[in-house]
């Protein structure tokens, strides 16, 4: 039998570890800075929790046990010596497996790239290193980021921590599930047609697709060049703001980045939304939406109104063509990237994405260029809308996460195609490149629901502040996935 004193110590350490894995960066950072929590202690707790939950969630492609502890020891030494670098110093994070880390395997969760090792860090990785982040490993994704379920044929499905039979969303499903279950404190995902926001909504976390050109994509394997974004996936809005503060900025290695000053995202989070004008586009964003999701999102908008905001209806006519334009653009660009492998080794792709790449060979140059004309008009329509309102609010997803392996979802009892509906409210943000934030706004059938806030170009501070104001109303009621508490 374990001696009483040792048993008490064991319980105290176990309890402390459980508390740590459930905390957000904004809670952990002051404890680390004051030396009340050690980066080694935190990292070990996260690694242990990842080990304890992996057999159920399958979020990680690879866990860097030894490297993470060694890096945590270096961070601890720096902090003890008075060299604290800021909010993310000593914070353990897993990164999506299409973001290059020097000398580490980056598979894109594919068979074709299963042994690919980069000889350089992605720009975002370099910036995170400079900020003192500890990398715990690579997290799973839908193969080549071309899907929304994270049901991977090569490495198995990632499971939603709120219901293990449900999808976590994709393509950044490993990031979403890992943050939700506590096996990563925060993460970076990528978003081409919703791949940050979809899993953020499905897993009850915060996901930010910032303005196109705000964050470098250098060293991130592409899906569709003109639609791709890299962005934060975190427990709270302040965590997302702090992470964006680190990774934002012009990069000469990425010609799509824009040399615009980086805003003080954290400093502009006040929670004051008095006078904020929220736009609502009824015809598109509240059409064919699950009734419970619609109710939760409208209640979320009302909470912002109760805090001093006002609502104004807007019209964005070109939205009715957005799904077509996004599909033509993403299919064409993705198939161009994978054209050679599709010709020479088609059987090494999963069936679902091989079909999409084959479809992408069909649109003509005329189709692609017409889609870009729609895109140009859509940007114009959004710009006009933002002359009338400060931000837009809508559901992140019109449906709830469905069962793993099911190609259909439900809207008010009607079976609908999963892919078409799960990306319906996502594509406009990628086509326009405008910033979009998903914040949790409640539960339906035990699953999280997200509310999406969109802003004008480089208007991340506006949507982050509005998201923070809403977050303070505690829309999730402090609920956590059981595995976060009981693993």
Please list the helix, strand and coil fractions of the chain in percent, rounded to the nearest 5, in that order. 45, 15, 40
Q: Tell me the CA distances in angstroms from 134 to 11, 39, 200, one per residue in order.
A: 26, 9, 22
What is the distance between the alpha carbons of residues 205 and 201, in angstroms, rounded to a whole number? 6
Task: Please report which residue ranges of 132-272 form alpha helices under DSSP H.
Answer: 173-181, 197-203, 237-247
Secondary structure of residue 163 in the 3-state scheme: strand
Q: How does DSSP assign 102-113, residue by residue?
A: TTSB--TT-STT
Q: How many CB atoms lie within 10 A of CB 406?
A: 15
Please check whether residue 464 is in contact with residue 457, taking contact to mean a CB–CB distance below 8 angstroms: no
- Annotated catalytic residue: which of 38, 109, 140, 171? 171
| Catalytic residue check, 438 | no
What is the distance between the alpha carbons of residues 355 and 181, in angstroms, rounded to a whole number? 32
Cis omega (within 30 of 0) on the bond before 171? yes
Exposure letters 230-266 (e unless 16+ CB within 10 A, then b): bbbbbbbbbbbbbbbbbbbbebeebebbeeeebbebb
- Annotated catalytic residue: which of 38, 187, 195, 200? 195
Exposure letters 2-29 (e unless 16+ CB within 10 A, then b): eeeeeeeeeeeeeeebbebbbbbbbbbb
Greatest extent of the chain over all pairs of C-alpha atoms, in Å:
77
Q: Which residues pair with 137 in a beta bridge?
A: 63, 94
What is the distance between the alpha carbons of residues 316 and 286, in angstroms, rounded to a whole number? 13
Secondary structure of residue 172 in the 3-state scheme: coil
| Catalytic residue check, 414 | no
Locate 388 and state its tokens: 């009338």
Q: Is 444 left (phi over 0), alpha (psi -120 to 50) or beta?
A: beta
Task: Please report which residue ranges of 350-459 form alpha helices under DSSP H.
Answer: 351-359, 365-385, 418-422, 427-432
| Catalytic residue check, 118 | no
What is the distance between the alpha carbons of residues 242 and 147, in angstroms, rounded to a whole number? 28
- Annotated catalytic residue: which of 23, 96, 104, 238? 96
What is the distance between the alpha carbons of residues 71 and 29, in angstroms, rounded to a whole number? 17
By annotation, the residues acting in catalysis are 96, 171, 195
């Amino acid at each position: 039998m374990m001696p009483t004193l040792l048993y008490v110590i064991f319980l105290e350490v176990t309890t402390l570890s459980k508390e740590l894995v459930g905390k957000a960066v904004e809670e952990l950072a002051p404890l680390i800075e004051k030396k009340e929590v050690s980066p080694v202690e935190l990292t070990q707790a996260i690694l242990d929790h990842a080990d304890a939950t992996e057999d159920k969630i399958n979020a990680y492609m690879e866990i860097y046990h030894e490297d993470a502890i060694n890096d945590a020891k270096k961070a601890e030494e720096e902090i003890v010596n008075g060299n604290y670098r800021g909010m993310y110093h000593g914070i353990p994070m897993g990164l999506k497996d299409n973001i290059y880390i020097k000398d580490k395997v980056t598979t894109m969760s594919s068979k074709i790239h299963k042994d690919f090792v980069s000889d350089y860090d992605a720009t975002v990785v370099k910036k995170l290193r400079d900020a003192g982040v500890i990398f715990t490993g690579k997290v799973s994704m839908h193969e080549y980021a071309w899907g929304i379920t994270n049901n991977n044929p090569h490495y198995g499905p990632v499971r939603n921590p709120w219901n293990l039979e449900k999808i976590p969303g994709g393509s950044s499903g490993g990031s979403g599930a890992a943050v939700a279950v506590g096996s990563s404190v925060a993460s970076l995902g990528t978003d081409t047609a919703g791949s940050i926001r979809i899993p953020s909504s499905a897993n009850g976390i915060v996901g930010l697709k910032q303005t196109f050109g705000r964050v470098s994509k250098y060293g991130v394997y592409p899906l569709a060049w003109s639609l791709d974004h890299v962005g934060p996936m975190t427990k709270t809005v302040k965590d997302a703001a702090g992470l964006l503060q680190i990774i934002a900025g012009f990069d000469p290695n990425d010609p799509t980045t824009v040399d615009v000053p980086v805003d003080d995202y954290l400093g502009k989070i006040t929670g004051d939304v008095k006078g904020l004008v929220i736009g609502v586009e009824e015809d598109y964003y509240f059409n064919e939406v699950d009734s419970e999701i619609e109710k939760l999102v409208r209640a979320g908008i009302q909470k912002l109104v109760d805090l001093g905001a006002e609502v104004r209806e807007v019209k964005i006519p070109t939205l009715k063509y957005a799904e077509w334009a996004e599909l033509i653009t993403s299919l064409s660009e993705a198939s161009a990237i994978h054209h050679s492998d599709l010709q020479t080794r088609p059987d090494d792709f999963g069936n679902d994405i091989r079909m999409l790449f084959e479809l992408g060979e069909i649109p003509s140059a005329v189709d692609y260029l017409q889609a870009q004309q729609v895109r140009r008009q859509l940007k114009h329509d959004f710009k006009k809308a933002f002359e009338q309102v400060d931000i837009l609010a809508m559901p992140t997803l019109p449906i709830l996460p469905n069962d793993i392996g099911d190609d259909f979802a439900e809207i008010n009892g009607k079976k609908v195609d999963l892919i078409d509906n799960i990306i319906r409210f996502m594509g406009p943000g990628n086509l326009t490149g405008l910033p979009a934030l998903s914040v949790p706004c409640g539960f339906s059938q035990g699953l999280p629901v997200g509310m999406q806030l969109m802003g004008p170009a480089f208007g991340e501070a506006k949507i982050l502040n509005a998201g923070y104001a809403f977050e303070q109303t505690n829309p999730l009621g402090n609920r956590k996935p059981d595995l976060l508490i009981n693993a």
